[in-house]
Amino acid sequence: MFKNPEIPTDSGFTIWFNKKEKKEFYVTPLMDCNLTFNKKINNTYKEILLEHTSYKFPNTKCSLVKRDYFHPLEEKYGMFLIRFLNADFSNSLTAYNTFFGFYGIELLKEYVNSISKAKVCKVPSEFFTYFTEIFEQSKDRIIELQKQIRECINFVYNLDNSDSYKDELSHIKFLSYALRNDLYNYTRQTNIYFNTLFVNGTDGLSPNLANPSKIRKSIKDGKLSYKTSHIYHSSYLSNMIFVSLNEIAMNTYVTIKKCQNCGKYFIPTSKESEIYCDIVYYKDEKSCRVIGAAETFKKSIGDVEAYKLYKKTYQRILMQIQRGKINPYSEKAKYFAQWKQSSQQNLKKYKKGKTTESELNEWMKKSIDKFDTYDEKNI
C-alpha cells in the first residue's frame, strides 16, 4: 500500500476537488452535536446535514468526529464556497446552522488564539457556549470577508446588474478582481500537497509491482484518482475560502447564479438555464428545486389579470362539462383541453420573461372569446 499522505487530520481544514465528477472532499475535526451523516446513491463517501430543523442544543451528548484521507466527507462541487456565500453570520446559532455545523470551527483559528476547549465538551450546551464566545470574537471579520467574496462573485458572474465588462469571460473578470483587490493575500497560510494520486486509497497495489495494466484497473476500481486537484490545508478561513473561490471561478464550465425562489447563490448542476437551487441544511428538507417552481409561479403571476381569467374560465368550463352542459366527448370539450394546455404554456412563457404582461392578457382574452364563440354541433 502507498503511504498515507502526511497531512494533519486532527487540526485545521483540508479540501480537494474533482472537476470531472463535480465533487469536493474535505477532512476536519467536527463536534457532532446536531449532525447526521448521509450517503447518497452517487456518492463514494458521506455528507453532512443537520439533524433538526430548529436546534436549541439540548442537554444531550456530543462527540468529536475525525475523518481521514481514505474516508473524507463529500459534497457537491463548490458547496463550501456556496455555503459561505449564503451563510447567516448575524449570530452564533445561525452561523452554526448555516456554515460551521458543516465545516467545524478549526477555521476560526485565524481569528482566535485557541479553540482547544471545544474538543473536550461533553454536551451540546457546553459546546455552544464556547462556540458563541469564539464566534463573537471573529464575527465582524467573517462578515467583512463574506462581503468581499460576495462582491467578487457578483462582479464575475454579472449578478450585480452592472454593465461593467458584462460580456467579458468570467475567469478573466475574476483574475482582474483578485489582483485589484489583493485576494491572493489569502494564500499565505495555505499548504499545498501534491498527493492526489493516492488520496482515495490504494489497497492491493504495490508501487514496486505497478504496471500500466494494474494502474488502469486501480483507476477503474476507484483506488487511484488522477483527476482530483492538489490537496489544500489551512487553519485560516480566508485562505480556504479563496482556494474554493479560485477553483470555481477559474473553471470555465461552471457558473454561479441566484435562486429565483430563495435568493441564495447556487451552482447549476446540469444546465445554465436552471433557476432554482438544491441547497438544503437539514435532513428531509425540501429544496427550492422541488418546491420553488410552484411557489414562485404563484407569487409572480397570482395578481396578473390573465392568470385570474384563466382560473375563472377553467373552473367555469369544467363545471359545465361536469353538469352535462358540454358533452365531455364533444369537439368543444377537446378544444377546451387544447386551450388549457396552450394557456399553461403561455403563462410559463410569461414567467420566464419571454412575453410581456400586456401580451399575455391580450392572448388570454382572445383565446377565451374564441372558446366562448366556438361553433359546437355536438352539445
- Flag whether 64 is in a domain: yes
Single residue among 199, 230, 255 that ends a domain in this structure:
255
310 lies in the same domain as 165 = no
Burial 133-166 (b: 16+ CB within 10 A, else e): ebbeebbeebeebbebbbebbbbbbbeeeeeeee
Q: Note whether 131 and 92 are within 8 A (CB).
A: yes
The domain in which residue 309 lies consists of 302-372
Q: Determine the pLDDT at residue 3.
A: 46
- Nearest CA to 336 out of 323, 327, 347 is that of 327
Q: Note whether 237 and 108 are within 8 A (CB).
A: yes
C-alpha cell at 366: 382572445
Angstrom CA distances, 124 to 117, 180, 188, stand at 13, 43, 34
- Nearest CA to 119 out of 239, 214, 11 is that of 11
Spatial neighbors of 375 by CB under 8 A, at least 6 apart, are none
Spatial neighbors of 31 by CB under 8 A, at least 6 apart, are 62, 63, 64, 65, 104, 105, 118, 119, 121, 127
Instruction: Note the pTM of the prediction, 2 decimals.
Output: 0.73
C-alpha cell at 126: 457546553
Q: Note whether 316 and 309 are within 8 A (CB).
A: no
Single residue among 255, 273, 292 that ends a domain in this structure:
255
Give the number of domains in the chain: 2
Q: Note whether 333 and 326 are within 8 A (CB).
A: yes
Mean pLDDT, contiguous 10-residue spans, the chain (379 residues): 63 92 92 79 78 60 79 93 97 93 94 85 85 95 98 94 84 95 95 64 60 76 71 96 97 92 89 82 86 63 83 90 86 88 87 74 89 62
Q: Determine the pLDDT at residue 335.
A: 87
353 lies in the same domain as 215 = no
- Flag whether 330 is in a domain: yes
What CA–CA distance (Å, rounded) separates 225 from 218? 9
218 lies in the same domain as 312 = no
181 lies in the same domain as 35 = yes
Handedness of CA 98, 103, 108, 110 (dihedral sign): negative
Amino acid found at 343: S
- Flag whether 124 is in a domain: yes
- Flag whether 295 is in a domain: no
Q: Note whether 105 and 117 are within 8 A (CB).
A: no
* Helix 79-86, helix 124-156: angle, nearest 10: 100
3 state SS of 209: helix
Phi, psi of 296 (to 5 degrees): -65, -40
Burial 287-302 (b: 16+ CB within 10 A, else e): bbbeebbeebeeeebe
Q: Note whether 83 and 98 are within 8 A (CB).
A: yes
- Flag whether 65 is in a domain: yes
196 lies in the same domain as 342 = no
Q: Note whether 202 and 224 are within 8 A (CB).
A: yes
229 lies in the same domain as 346 = no
**Count of CA atoms in the C-beta half-sphere (13 A) of 17:** 21
What CA–CA distance (Å, rounded) separates 257 from 277? 9
C-alpha cell at 151: 462582491
Phi, psi of 94 (to 5 degrees): -70, -35
244 lies in the same domain as 114 = yes
Single residue among 223, 255, 287 that ends a domain in this structure:
255
334 lies in the same domain as 244 = no
C-alpha cell at 355: 412575453
